[in-house]
Structure formats: C-alpha cells, structure tokens
Structure 1
Amino acid sequence: MSQATAAPASPTKDVGAVALRTAINIMEKWQASTKQIENVLRISRSTYARAKDQQRAVSLDSDQMARISLVLNMHAALRTVFDNPDNVYGFVSMKNSNDFFDGQSPLEVMAQGSFIQLYETFRRIDVLRGAQW
C-alpha cells in the first residue's frame, strides 16, 4: 500500500523563506513595526504571517529578494562596524543628521517603501565599514 506524500517545496522557495524569516527577525530586533517591515520588504500582511510560520512556503519576486538582500547586507555591515549589540540593532532607529536622512532615522527613510531609499540607506551604512563607491 503506497502513501501519497506532498511534493517538497522548491529549493528557491525554501531559500527565499529562510531569507525572509531572517530579514524579519533582524528588522524586529531593529524595533521596526509590522507596517515598517511590510513596507521595507514590500510584502503583504499575509506573506508576513506566512513567514512567521516555519512550516509555510513563501513565494517571493526578484524585487522582494533584492530588498531582503539589502537588509541582510546592512545587518552584516553593522555587525562589522559595531561590537555592541545595542549599536548593531539600535543604529537604524537613531535619528541621523546625514544630509540624506535629514534628521530621520535610517528605518524611517527605508520604511517609506521606495527601493531607491532602501538602497541609498544601505550605501550609507556600508560606507561605515569602509566600502568604497
């Protein structure tokens, strides 16, 4: 007697789901609200909820994957620059006097949802670790 089994999720979906969960975890440590996370990653509330459930598959498009990549790379840059976890996770919530941020925190700028603002925020954080543009 054979048993029917569900087909496993595709490797791409698995990688995307892990990356999304990791980005959400980082952003929650940044004290981002659910709405800010949804705006930065350009995901719906239902995708956010599915990502929180380890057993559920998540489909992501290339823009969402690029956004996740930028968040993960910002986190890596912050971990390189700072030894203190309070700075690693608190930096993006601090008001910033850099002309680009104009007194807003990096998180506030990213949460406006524009890919360009997310990318430019990444660039400014990446420069802190000595990246040359």
Structure 2
Amino acid sequence: MRRHLSTLAPAAEAALPRLDPRRFAPENRRRLSAPGMRTFLAIADLWGLDETQRLLALGYPARSTFHRWARLAREHGAFTLDVDTLARISAILGIHQALGVLHEHERDGVAWLRRPHGATLFGGQPPLALITGGTQDGLMAVRRFLDATRGGLSMEPNAADRDFAPYTDAELVLS
C-alpha cells in the first residue's frame, strides 16, 4: 500500500533525504554561472564542438542568449543561469573529469567521445551524439556510464574479453 508522505511517522519523514533549497537560490546560481560557462566553453573548444552542438548540450537556448552568456562569462560579468543549464554544465564537467581519469592524454578522451561505441547505451553511435542530443538525460547517461567505468562497473566485454573462458578449479593456485 502506498502512503502519502504526510502519513509517515515523523521519524520516517525526517530520515528522507532533502535537497537543500539554497543550492538553487538565485545568488548561488549567479555565483556559479560565469565560471561554469567559461569552463564549458573551454571544454567545448577542446572537444571541437560547433555552435549547434554547444547549443544542444546547453538545452538549446536562443543563439543570442548563448552568445550573451559567452560574452559575459569571458568578461567576468554577472549573469544567472537557470538550474537546467547549470545541471547540464555540471554533467559536462563530470564527463570531462572522468575522461581525464580514464585516459592518459586529453586527445584520447576526445577520440573516445567521437568514436562509435558498442555499449548498449550508445547503440553504435559515438558518446558525443548523446551529449549533443539536446536532452539532459543524454548528458547524465554518459556521465553515469563514465563514472561506473571509473569504478569498474560498466564496461561491456571488449574483443579481448569475448573469448575468455572462465578459470577452472585446477587452474587456481592458492598460497
């Protein structure tokens, strides 16, 4: 039986995680907007994103709005991005960070983004197609995939693993 939140016992209701509404306050978003946009632009340059890909990654704001944000960010001006745009930038920062952990050279991480990928999530498309697909879910899916990969949880078998035969008890050496 499903219960409405208000019918929970006070102790059970207190145990539920709460988002801190201050995270979304305009002054906090304003503080994060210019540095976040500058970092996004640097990553977009590194990844070789064209204008349309940049717009799609950010949720497809109007071109004039995007260029105003970029100008203000470069000039260290003040502006306030909405929660969705900041979440998208956060996902891109996480993707960039994960690529830095997983690949010794930045160019290898960029190449990974641009190569078709055999994981079910990507359906044979490059991960960049999800990043620039226009949805926040696509960005978050790539970020979750890379985070799981960093933790050793997400990589599907590659060519080296496909023909692997499990070890038998006779092959195990215990010392």
TM-score, normalization: structure 1? 0.81
Question: What is the 5 A alignment of 1:1-133?
Answer: 12-42=29-59, 43-53=61-71, 54-55=74-75, 56-130=77-151
What residue ranges of structure 1 are gaps of 5+ in the alignment? Answer: 1-9
Identity %: 27
User: What is the letter of the counterpart of residue 74 of structure 1?
Assistant: I
Q: Contact (CA 8 Å) 1:41, 1:67: kept in 2 or not?
A: yes
The question of whether the paired residues in 2 share the 8 Å contact of 1:47 and 1:58 is answered with no
Please list the CA deviations of residues 95-122 of structure 1 after superposition, one character each: whole Å capped at 9, or x if unmatched.
1111111111111122121111111111
Tell whether the 8 Å contact from 2:98 to 2:146 is kept in structure 1 after alignment. yes
* Higher RCO (CA 8 Å, separation ≥ 6 residues): 1
In the alignment, what sits opposite 1:6? none
CA contact (8 A) 1:50 1:57 kept: no
Whether the aligned pair in 1 keeps the contact of 2:115 and 2:126 (CA below 8 Å) is yes
Q: Which moved more, 1:68-77 or 1:34-43?
A: 34-43
CA RMSD of aligned residues (A): 2.0
Deviations 1:29-78 (A, max 9, x none): 11111111111112331232123322243321111111110000111111
| 1:100 to 1:22, Cα distance in 2 relative to 1, 3 A | same
TM-score (normalizing by structure 2): 0.63
Kindly name which structure, 1 or 2, has the bigger radius of gyration based on alpha carbons. Answer: 2
